[in-house]
Structure 1
Amino acid sequence: MNKTLISTCLLALVGTPAIAHKVEVVGDVAGTWHIEPNHNPRVGVPARTWVALTRQGGALVPLSQANCQMAVYAKPRRSGDQPILRPTLRAIAAERYQGIPGADITFPKVGLYQLQLSCTPKTKGSFQPFQMQYDVTVAQ
């Protein structure tokens, strides 16, 4: 293998922060979830939460093209449970994404939670309606 190529790859890896995101694919849309800071929200501290939505092929689905709602459930979650929070979504810029759904969530206590994002297209047929979930542990 070419030494220049190896050196370039190593430099790229060293210069890239280690950021882990959860990606979920539902129908024809993928959602990349992130909670700041570093997927480790704390009780009583607003955690910026966002989901970058993309269509197959990588085209972004901005909040301006979707009717989305977010709900937060305590876990374990049973059928019929009501959300403990319904954060207001707004279009935000995060990393390389512009206009994606985001919200500040303040978790009330230590424990396990499930975030649920439900979206329908504003323009019929632009994507299939979907619902995706993200599980998170909240610490002290």
Structure 2
Amino acid sequence: MFRLSNKSKNLGLLVFLGLLIETGISPMPPLKLTSVLAHEVEVSGDVATTFHLEPNHNPRAGATAKVWFALTRKGGIIIPLEQCNCNLAVYSQGHKPGDKPLIEPALKAVSAERYKGIPGADIVFPKAGIYELELSGSAKTAANFKPFKLTYKVTVR
């Protein structure tokens, strides 16, 4: 009989939950996980989003950081940027509702890993600190998903 360590059990559970969310099966919304590949996954309504920030989720002030958001619907169906009225806003941590974003980077269709045509952007954070990235969107005419809003915290060095 094999005995698994707690670390192995926890890693297995994280991978399993990540796969559930990736395929659109959510055990308990909203759920936020960081997978072993340093991608953050969040769910809003019927949209799951995998978020990644280069370089290695470790951006530096004054340097260009590349972000992408792999949007998926139930069943793991990719939502490309062309099907989404998506907006990205960058705020300083602790902003109040109604505050104007510091930056509103233009989203462009990018390909990353196995995802094609997903929303992505280049961001230059002005100084070190903690920021909040807010991705919101709604379906364009031909698409079928509920409006969503997701927030990610980013620490900039």
Aligned partner of 1:35 in structure 2 is 53
Aligned partner of 1:47 in structure 2 is 65
TM-score (structure 1 length as normaliser): 0.84
Shift of residue 79 of structure 1?
Answer: 2.2
Shift of residue 56 of structure 1?
Answer: 1.1
Q: Unaligned regions of 5+ residues in structure 2, if any?
A: 2-35
Letter in structure 2 aligned against 1:41: P
TM-score (structure 2 length as normaliser): 0.75
Aligned partner of 1:75 in structure 2 is 93
Runs of 4+ in 1 over 6 A off after TM superposition: none
Asked if the contact 1:72–1:86 (Cα under 8 Å) also holds between the matched residues in 2, the reply is yes
* Aligned-residue RMSD, C-alpha: 1.3
Q: Secondary structure at the match of 2:55?
A: coil
Asked if the contact 1:19–1:38 (Cα under 8 Å) also holds between the matched residues in 2, the reply is no
Sequence identity percentage:
57
Aligned partner of 2:128 in structure 1 is 110
Q: Unaligned regions of 5+ residues in structure 1, if any?
A: 2-17
Radius of gyration: which is bigger?
A: 1
Asked if the contact 1:76–1:112 (Cα under 8 Å) also holds between the matched residues in 2, the reply is no
**Higher relative contact order (Cα pairs below 8 Å, separated by 6+ residues):** 1
CA displacement, residues 28-75 of structure 1 (integer Å, 9 cap, x when unaligned): 000001000110010011100010000011000000111111000001
Q: Secondary structure at the match of 1:60?
A: strand
Letter in structure 2 aligned against 1:42: R
